[in-house]
């Protein structure tokens, strides 16, 4: 089982590329997985040598090949934290494996950007790109090719799908009740590209959009939270949800093929298993493999590459259940990403159980999230959990 440690540009520059690489090796970890493309964030960094709270604008950690990208959908500039350095290039010279972690369709771009997700009212969901838009698809493919540079073993693609209505936008507010069903309807994209695809597939997108507008705000809910029950709630909704899944799967296939042609492994990161337990490590509802349809992701449609599951939970048996469900649903290998610190893991015994479960289930690649945001004693737990016989 190959292992990796996730990290940010601010970690590498603040502490030193060589220092972070050595700490990873000392913990028994094979690779560093670097946030090569990332969205806006505010993070508490408990062991950074200079700062404790880091405010990051969206950006990249490497020098892009400008000519690869479409005219209107391009990566954000080099991250300020990079201090002008190409960190992928620097890490490729270190004695450690290198993976690129890239957030694809959540880019925190400016309002009115080409390819932005638009709801039934035409409102832009700022910072979110639509997987159906031709220039967005061109951007995703170009980004994949750009990341296939010397030294990069794998690309882990986060948000190569749609996102929920509520996703932590800066000072996000809502003081009117919305059911889970209504929030899903608000997350649906009705941009020109989506409507055109739907029309070609024989779906009356205009009629569905009108129904969505008439439904949101009424308190409408479904009796059972499943794709079949939700799809049956409105005329044309099931077909629209399935079209989104085919759209995302096609984009994932094209990116995985481009990476494979260049000798680089490509994994689609599914956030579904991590959403419930993100804040407190408590995850006891439906499994992630049962919820990907909310994001336009049917893991059973993935044809190439790998799937990366994120079972963020304090319960080792929940990790087992999540991974087993993904392995049953997907026809591609399933990788796993664990948090070796609060709120998921507070002891060597707990983390060792989770690592042992992943080994027993035949997981080929196991990542640990996230170097800069974990207390350093979490690396001791990682080392102990990876030791022979743990």
Instruction: State CA 311 to chain mean position distance.
Output: 12
What is the SS3 assignment for 139-176?
A: HHHHHHHHHCCCCEEEEEEECCCCCCCCCCCCCCCCCC
Residue 152 sits at φ, ψ, to 5 deg, of -85, 115
Q: Is residue 226 part of a domain?
A: no
Cα 169–105–193 angle (5° rounding)?
Answer: 110
Do the domain assignments include residue 188? no
Q: Is residue 222 part of a domain?
A: no
Per-residue model confidence as pLDDT tens for the chain (390 residues)? 999 999 999 999 999 999 999 999 999 999 999 999 999 999 999 999 999 999 999 999 999 999 999 999 999 999 999 999 999 999 999 889 999 999 999 988 888 899 999 999 999 998 899 999 999 999 999 999 999 999 999 999 999 999 999 876 777 888 999 999 999 999 999 999 999 999 999 999 999 999 999 999 999 999 999 999 999 999 999 999 999 999 999 999 999 999 999 999 999 999 999 998 999 999 888 999 999 999 999 999 999 999 999 999 999 999 999 999 999 999 999 999 999 999 999 899 999 999 999 999 999 999 999 999 999 999 999 999 999 877
Domain CATH number, residue 306? 3.20.20.80
* Angle (deg, nearest 10), helices 205-215 and 237-261: 110
In a domain, 206, yes or no: no
Q: Does 374 fall in a domain?
A: yes
**Which DSSP state fits 78?**
B
Number of domains in the chain: 1
Q: Is the pTM of this model over 0.85?
A: yes
At residue 183, the 3 state secondary structure works out as: helix
Is 232 inside a domain boundary?
no
Say how far apart CA 205 and CA 215 lie, in whole Å.
15
Residue 126 lies inside a defined structural domain of this protein = yes
Domain that holds residue 85: 2-175+245-386
Is residue 121 one of the residues assigned to a domain?
A: yes
CB 370 within 8 A of CB 101: no
């Amino acid at each position: 089982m190959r292992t990796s440690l996730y990290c940010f540009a601010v970690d590498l520059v603040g502490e030193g590329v060589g220092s972070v690489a050595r700490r990873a090796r000392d913990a028994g970890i094979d690779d560093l997985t670097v946030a090569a493309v990332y969205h806006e964030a505010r993070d508490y960094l408990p062991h950074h040598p200079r700062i404790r709270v880091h405010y990051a604008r969206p950006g990249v950690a490497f020098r892009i090949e400008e000519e690869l990208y479409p005219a209107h959908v391009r990566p954000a500039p080099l991250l300020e934290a990079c201090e002008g350095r190409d960190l992928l290039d620097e890490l490729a010279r270190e004695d450690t494996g290198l993976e690129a972690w890239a957030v694809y369709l959540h880019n925190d771009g400016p309002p009115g950007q080409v390819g932005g997700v638009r709801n039934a009212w035409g409102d832009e969901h700022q910072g979110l790109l639509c997987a159906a838009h031709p220039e967005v698809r061109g951007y995703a493919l170009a980004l994949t090719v750009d990341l296939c540079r010397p030294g990069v073993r794998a690309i882990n693609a986060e948000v190569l799908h749609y996102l929920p209505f509520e996703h932590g936008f800066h000072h996000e507010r809502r003081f009117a009740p919305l059911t889970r069903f209504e929030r899903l309807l608000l997350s649906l994209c009705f941009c020109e590209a989506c409507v055109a695809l739907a029309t070609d597939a024989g779906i009356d997108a205009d009629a569905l959009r009108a129904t969505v507008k008439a439904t949101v705000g009424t308190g409408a809910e479904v009796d059972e939270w499943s794709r079949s029950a939700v799809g049956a709630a409105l005329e044309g909704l099931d077909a629209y949800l399935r079209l989104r899944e085919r759209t995302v799967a096609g984009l994932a296939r094209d990116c995985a093929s481009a990476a494979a042609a260049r000798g680089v492994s490509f994994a689609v990161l599914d956030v579904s298993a991590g959403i419930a337990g993100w804040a407190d490590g408590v995850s006891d509802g439906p499994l992630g493999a049962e919820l990907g349809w909310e994001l336009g992701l049917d893991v059973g449609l993935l044809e190439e590459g790998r799937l990366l599951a994120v079972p963020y939970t304090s319960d080792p048996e929940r990790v087992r259940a999540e991974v087993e469900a993904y392995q049953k649903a997907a026809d591609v290998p399933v990788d796993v990403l664990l948090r070796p610190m609060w709120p998921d893991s507070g002891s060597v015994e707990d983390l060792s159980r989770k690592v042992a479960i992943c080994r027993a289930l035949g997981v080929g690649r196991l990542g640990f999230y996230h170097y800069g945001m974990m207390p350093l004693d979490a690396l001791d737990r990682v080392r102990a959990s990876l030791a022979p016989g743990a």
